[in-house]
Structure 1
């Protein structure tokens, strides 16, 4: 089992990184008040862990008896029958899914799931908690039509279903949905907090973790606790016992993006653009989110530039990332950003040589 799962807090009172948030949630549950909720914060901050602890607080250990279902759904629309197939993670008390997996059909899927849950109430719970919970991940990637549909559905089935939303960018969730939820901000842990958690995991495993190595892992994690624990596990696999000067291994996809950035700076030509396109495709095929590719590539390209060109690259990256969010083919917008950078960088080099 990965350390990120093995040492995940199980109950709300076990949270030391977000003690204020967990105490407020526990207080609400003790008062039998469980509204719709929206958890938002950066990746690796602990949103999913807080949601799982909330489920255990409401329903008890029964929520840990999970089953993965991948079944086809036939949704009757006024003009046609929509057939979709998607995967859900469910227990007797809750259902968890990612609406963005079904693309533009997310509005119909969410409505169908909530209506199905409203027909089946949970058993073995108190009368104040005779409702199921629907966990929706990556709500910020849902279409606006699906979010508006969710707003109406939240009101209609509020007695039989509580909805818990999880996202990284709360600004992409429409205001009517946010206003109907208890918004919970889960902030990223600080570097000292990550170092403390790394030392606690190492002590539980019986390891001697040097302070310098823990500090470097925390710095490389970019305040992502899950990433820090995975890096600790990778360091243990590479070299044990730990050494103070031991290198922190980067993820393969990060090294691949560094290689792409080096190739872009080395040559600006249509042939090199075609090569880069193939490598970006390879990253997308391996399920690296296009937003992460765009952001990381921009940061790598800006490392060895002067201030004037760095500002221009940041502006172009923001422009094409916005188009990436609005479009349907990620490769088009990433390739357009690379082509724009190649043109600007080549003009900069020619001007410097003149």
Structure 2
């Protein structure tokens, strides 16, 4: 088992990061009827860990007894019936889904599937009716229509269902949905907190850490605890005992994007564009989010550019990122950005060197 899963806190009492939020959540769940919750914050900050700890606080160990189902739902879409395939992670008391997986049909997921799930009210061993919890991931990627439908579901089924929403940015969630939830901002852990977690794992694994080694991993992790733990385990696999000057290897996908950036800088042509397109497909197939690919590529390109070009390149990166969020085929927009960059950079080289 990976360390990131092995040492994931199971309860709110054992949180080494976000202890104050965990304490408040414990009081909220224990002392009163829990409201709808909205967790938002950057990737790797610990949102999912907190949500699973809240579920365990609510329902005990049964919250961990989950099954994964890949179901096809028949949904009435006016004049026709459409089939929607969704993967759900469920226990007796909760269901976790990602409605944005349905793309432009996400409103049907909210209107029909979530409504159907919300109607089924669980009954405990004493015959008392409880409530079911629906965990919805990536709600910031839902369309406006889906979010409006979600608001109505939250109001209508509040007696039998609680929603726990999870997203990276609350600004993309409508005010109507936000106002019906208790909003919890989950900040990225500080480098000191990450060092504390790495030292705890090292102690549990019986590892000797050279002075400053955990700090270097924390700095390179960009305040993502998940990434820091994965890097720590990678270092242990590659070389142990650790040395004070041991290199912290970058993630494979980051190294791959660095190579793509070098390819783009070396040659600006249709042939080279076709070559990097294949590499982008490799990243997308391996589930690297397209927005992350675009941001990382921009970061690598900016390192190699003259100051006078940086502003224009950033403008076009933002333009194509916005279009990517509106569209469905991410590869088109990533490729369009690369083509635009090649055009700008080639014109700059011709103007500079003739």
C-alpha distance in 2, partners of 1:89/1:64? 10
Is 1:53 aligned to residue 53 of structure 2? Answer: yes
Matched with 1:78 is: 78
Deviation at 1:129, TM superposition (A): 7.3
Matched with 1:325 is: 325
The answer to whether the 8 A contact 1:93-1:132 is kept is yes
SS of residue paired to 2:68:
strand
Deviations 1:329-354 (A, max 9, x none): 21121111111111221222223225
Matched with 2:13 is: 13
Deviation at 1:96, TM superposition (A): 0.2
Matched with 2:220 is: 220
Give the stretch that moved more between structures: 110-119 or 340-349.
110-119
Is 1:41 aligned to residue 41 of structure 2? Answer: yes
Deviations 1:39-61 (A, max 9, x none): 00000000000001111111111
Deviations 1:67-97 (A, max 9, x none): 1111221223432222222110000000001
SS of residue paired to 1:118:
helix
Deviation at 1:25, TM superposition (A): 1.1
C-alpha distance in 2, partners of 1:201/1:184? 27
1:218-297 counterparts in 2 under 5 A?
218-297=218-297
C-alpha distance in 2, partners of 1:183/1:327? 28
- After superposition, the Cα gap between the structure-2 partners of 1:158 and 1:134, relative to the gap in structure 1 and judged at 3 Å, is same
Give the stretch that moved more between structures: 276-285 or 137-146.
276-285
SS of residue paired to 2:87:
strand
The answer to whether the 8 A contact 1:139-1:165 is kept is yes
Give the stretch that moved more between structures: 304-313 or 169-178.
304-313
- After superposition, the Cα gap between the structure-2 partners of 1:294 and 1:125, relative to the gap in structure 1 and judged at 3 Å, is farther
SS of residue paired to 1:105:
helix
RMSD: 1.7
Deviation at 1:122, TM superposition (A): 2.0
Deviation at 1:127, TM superposition (A): 8.7
SS of residue paired to 2:223:
coil
Is 1:338 aligned to residue 338 of structure 2? Answer: yes
The answer to whether the 8 A contact 2:40-2:185 is kept is yes
Matched with 1:96 is: 96
The answer to whether the 8 A contact 2:16-2:197 is kept is no
Matched with 2:187 is: 187
Deviations 1:307-341 (A, max 9, x none): 22122222221111111111222112111111111
Matched with 1:210 is: 210
C-alpha distance in 2, partners of 1:232/1:86? 34
The answer to whether the 8 A contact 1:316-1:337 is kept is yes
Q: Which runs of 5+ in 2 are unaligned?
A: none
SS of residue paired to 2:38:
strand
Give the stretch that moved more between structures: 74-83 or 272-281.
74-83
The answer to whether the 8 A contact 1:114-1:161 is kept is no
C-alpha distance in 2, partners of 1:128/1:196? 43
SS of residue paired to 1:180:
coil
SS of residue paired to 2:342:
helix
The answer to whether the 8 A contact 2:107-2:145 is kept is yes
Is 1:312 aligned to residue 328 of structure 2? Answer: no
SS of residue paired to 2:212:
helix
Deviation at 1:31, TM superposition (A): 2.2
- How many residue pairs match? The answer is 354
Is 1:63 aligned to residue 63 of structure 2? Answer: yes
Q: Which runs of 5+ in 1 are unaligned?
A: none
Relative to the length of structure 1, the TM-score reads: 0.96
Deviations 1:257-300 (A, max 9, x none): 11110011111112111211221122222221110110000000
- After superposition, the Cα gap between the structure-2 partners of 1:153 and 1:99, relative to the gap in structure 1 and judged at 3 Å, is same
Deviation at 1:155, TM superposition (A): 0.5
Deviation at 1:125, TM superposition (A): 6.8
Deviation at 1:21, TM superposition (A): 1.1
C-alpha distance in 2, partners of 1:214/1:263? 33
C-alpha distance in 2, partners of 1:136/1:335? 31
Deviations 1:128-169 (A, max 9, x none): 971000000111111111111101111011111101100001
